[in-house]
Structure 1
Amino acid sequence: MTTSYRPQRTLPREPQFMHGTPGTIYILQNDGLRQGLYKIGATRRSGVSKAMELNRDQQQLIPGVYECVFELHTKDCGQALDEILKTFQQQRRGKRGEEFYEFDLDDAAGKIANTIATINRQGLIRQQHTLSMMRHLEPDEPTTSNAEAFTPPPSGIFRKAIQWVNG
Structure 2
Amino acid sequence: MASATSFYDFKPLNKKGVEVPLEDYKGKVVLVVNTASKCGFTPQFAGLEKLYKEMTEKHPDQFVILGFPCNQFGSQDPGSDEEIQSFCQINYGVTFPILKKVDVNGDSADPVFKWLKAEKPGLLGLKMVKWNFEKFLIGKDGQVKNRWASTTKPESLVSAIEEELSKE
TM-score (norm 2): 0.29
Q: From the CA coordinates, give the structure whose radius of gyration is larger.
A: 1
TM-score (norm 1): 0.29
Higher helix share: 1
